[in-house]
Structure 1
Amino acid sequence: MKQHLKIIQLIDSLTPGGAEMMAVNIANALAEEGMQSHICATRLEGDLKLKIAANVGYLFLNKKRTIDFKAIRQLRIYIKQHQITIIHAHSSSYFLGFIMKLLNPKLRLIWHDHFGMSEALDPRPKFPLVWISRFFNATISVNTLLLEWNQHYLKVAKNVYLQNFANFNPQEIKQTELKGDEGKRIVCLANLRPQKDHLNLLKAFCIVQKVRSDWTLHLVGMDFLDAYSEKIKAYIKEHGLVNHVFLYGSCSDTSNVLAQATIGVLASSSEGLPVALLEYGLMQLPVVTTNVGECGKVIFNEQNGLVVIKENEFVVAEALEVLIKDESKRNIFGTELYEHIKVHYSKEAYTQQLIGIYCDAN
């Protein structure tokens, strides 16, 4: 039955981020299974376009407003032309998926909830999501907090928790060269958004750097050139870290970046299930992470990494120091995390579960 499924992933942009990376990974994985797989970027293209496999159909709408008749018409024609049967809408792209289902009720609409502020769901806007949810055939949540929220508020019979997976593009072109000394680099793979709490990480690194002046911190992720970004840059300058902390923006050669790193870190105040943690694991990096979202289900403290409380620079600094001074522990944690990711967060297991969701969604 799966061979009759023809799926399109809907995502607002292809700028690097967790939801965007998952949309591309899913499209590629489905194509590897021999299915007719497509992906549509509705508003913006970006570096992730380079990671879309050659056998995945691609459409860019250049959507300018919430209801853009030209984009709606273009997507409707594409869906009809390729006989799409399932729309897999990620995050806010559910609205365009809803419009497509109004125009063709036979389409199955799956909504994938990647909401990053899962630690603070009370103020989450419910309109128009709750009303539109009656048109969803199923929802997929990236952590259990989101699953519980969806089960409580949405008008959907089938709500599923499906953990993320990570996968590197074997055709990746190496282009990023990290600064600093080899073997003494800490990397944080996260877009510059407040919930990623780079300021907490910078405070922690400031403590570490006073006794480990030869170590460097590398921030890799989209810079939105906003007030939060300015705070990060101001902190780096004011605390004399210009030659020790480096910002790279978004990088499409993720595995190459991580291959040059020594320690992976996330100091987030809120998360879903960050793909960055899985990518650290695939590259056998030892990890320090805050205990938010599903992070504690990926990293088991003192077994395959170190898990600390959020919004406390002292515990982050202490954990980094533990890994910096103990190469043997770094190697053990990196190996253990790699094995854990391969067993529990594999592309193959994820794809089969997803295909089951598609087939069961009526």
Structure 2
Amino acid sequence: MRVLQLIDSLDVGGGERMAVNLANYFSENQIPNLLISTRKGGPLEKLIKSPNSLEVFSKSNVLDLATFIRILRKVRSFDPSIIHAHDSSIFWAALIKLLYPKAMLVWHAHYGGFSSANGRFGKKIKFLQAAIDRVIVVNSELLAWVKSDFSMIPKAAYIGNFPDRVSECHVEREKLKWIISVANLKKPKNHVVLVRAFSEFIKSHTGYKLALIGTMDDPEYVEEVNRVIQAEDVQEHVHLLGPVMELKEWFDKARMGILSSHVEGLPVSLLELGLSGVPVISSRVGACGDLLEAGRCGYLVEPNDSGELSMAMRNLVDNKEETRVKAMRFENKVKTEFGGDSFFRKYSALLGKY
């Protein structure tokens, strides 16, 4: 097995983090692998444990023929048996497959909105399906979509993401006052609802602070979030931190972690919070409901409902034993069901003979 991964960039994001986690897993298990970032590098480069397994290119657009030729040369030099394309990198991967047909092409679909009526790229990918040999999806909705709309693709499977390992954390969380959200500042992550819920929450639970951790590459959305922060008069309590690579410090001081998205696949950040023992609240979208076992492993709320989210925050803080049990269940679930070895067993079964 020789695995070539393609990703657009190494900015902070769930798909990008999984590409890095896979690269590290392959390297640790002596599986020849190469991760190609086609458009640019990014902060996640620092997390690659084997620098020789990474190549960064500077694709300017989808028609950048010069960069495509350089990448194709690298592909031929590496001689992969598997081309593993994440999200929108499937477009160039399909072209590479046409020119390098002996490799199996695997599309890894991370974005939960692919299957929606206005899903980005979703409809266009139908034109590529003849080139795709396997599909990995991150929730059951995406799997149903692939099976119904992509009849030419031989096999597809739902394989859960897995987090990078974190150190054990033993803290008295009941005394902590930080609430963290690890999600890039963009519309699907719905920080506006979170800020409004937090504003209501601190009226009865004083002293808490909210940290928004993630890239801030959408200036209009960041401005919208800041307007809501000012309108709710919580400027002294809400901190926009930008991307943070070493998250353990924040996991260690978090009373809770919140994901308020209205669109998700299977968020790696939620798995990382669980692995660190942080109690979680998540909107019921994508695979989040299944991850939290309908509320056994964390608190679930409907998306876009700041009132319900605020109530969940109060419940988490006020019901200490219930919260501790939920967090313990989720930590155990992530450890047993979402490790790299579990992913690789399912991955190998999906590939079959390659």
TM-score when scaled to structure 2?
Answer: 0.93
The Cα shift of 1:358 comes to: 3.1
The Cα shift of 1:195 comes to: 1.3
The Cα shift of 1:265 comes to: 0.8
1:241 aligned partner? 234
> Residue type matched to 2:264 in 1?
E
Distance 1:126 1:270, change over 3 A: closer
Query: Which residue, 256, 266, 272 being the options, matches 2:249?
Result: 256
Give the 5 Å matches for 1:129-148. Answer: 129-148=125-144
**How many Å separate the matches in 2 of 1:355 and 1:74?**
29
1:24 aligned partner? 20
The Cα shift of 1:182 comes to: 6.8
- What secondary structure is seen at the aligned counterpart in 2 of 1:321? helix
Query: Which residue, 45, 49, 65 being the options, matches 1:49?
Result: 45
**How many Å separate the matches in 1 of 2:122 and 2:313?**
39
RMSD: 1.8
- Verify the 8 A CA contact 1:28 1:56 in the aligned structure 2: no
Query: Which residue, 35, 39, 58 being the options, matches 1:39?
Result: 35
2:170 aligned partner? none
The Cα shift of 1:55 comes to: 6.4
The Cα shift of 1:301 comes to: 4.6
Note if 1:101 corresponds to 2:97: yes
- What secondary structure is seen at the aligned counterpart in 1 of 2:30? coil
1:159 aligned partner? 156
- Verify the 8 A CA contact 2:137 2:143 in the aligned structure 1: yes
**How many Å separate the matches in 1 of 2:47 and 2:338?**
20
**How many Å separate the matches in 2 of 1:56 and 1:217?**
38
- What secondary structure is seen at the aligned counterpart in 1 of 2:266? coil
Query: Which residue, 67, 70, 79 being the options, matches 1:71?
Result: 67
- What secondary structure is seen at the aligned counterpart in 2 of 1:160? strand
**How many Å separate the matches in 2 of 1:348 and 1:55?**
22
1:298 aligned partner? 291
Per-residue CA deviations over 1:170-211 (Å, capped at 9, x if unaligned) read 7xxxxxxxxxx9711110110112111111111110100112
User: Unaligned regions of 5+ residues in structure 2, if any?
Assistant: 168-173
2:225 aligned partner? 232
> Residue type matched to 1:123 in 2?
N
- Verify the 8 A CA contact 1:31 1:55 in the aligned structure 2: no
Question: What is the count of residue pairs matched by the alignment?
Answer: 346
Greater mean alpha carbon deviation, residues 279-288 or residues 218-227: 218-227
**How many Å separate the matches in 1 of 2:217 and 2:280?**
26
> Residue type matched to 1:66 in 2?
V
**How many Å separate the matches in 1 of 2:122 and 2:342?**
32
User: Unaligned regions of 5+ residues in structure 1, if any?
Assistant: 171-180
Identity of aligned pairs, percent? 28
Greater mean alpha carbon deviation, residues 341-350 or residues 328-337: 328-337
- Verify the 8 A CA contact 2:27 2:50 in the aligned structure 1: no
**How many Å separate the matches in 1 of 2:283 and 2:205?**
22
- What secondary structure is seen at the aligned counterpart in 2 of 1:188? strand
Per-residue CA deviations over 1:301-358 (Å, capped at 9, x if unaligned) read 5532111112111111011011122333332222111101111112211112213333
- Verify the 8 A CA contact 2:289 2:295 in the aligned structure 1: no
> Residue type matched to 1:346 in 2?
G
- What secondary structure is seen at the aligned counterpart in 2 of 1:262? strand
- What secondary structure is seen at the aligned counterpart in 1 of 2:38? strand
Q: Which runs of 4+ in 1 moved over 6 A?
A: none
Query: Which residue, 32, 57, 63 being the options, matches 1:61?
Result: 57
**How many Å separate the matches in 1 of 2:182 and 2:222?**
15
TM-score when scaled to structure 1?
Answer: 0.91
Per-residue CA deviations over 1:101-134 (Å, capped at 9, x if unaligned) read 121111211111112326x612235553111111
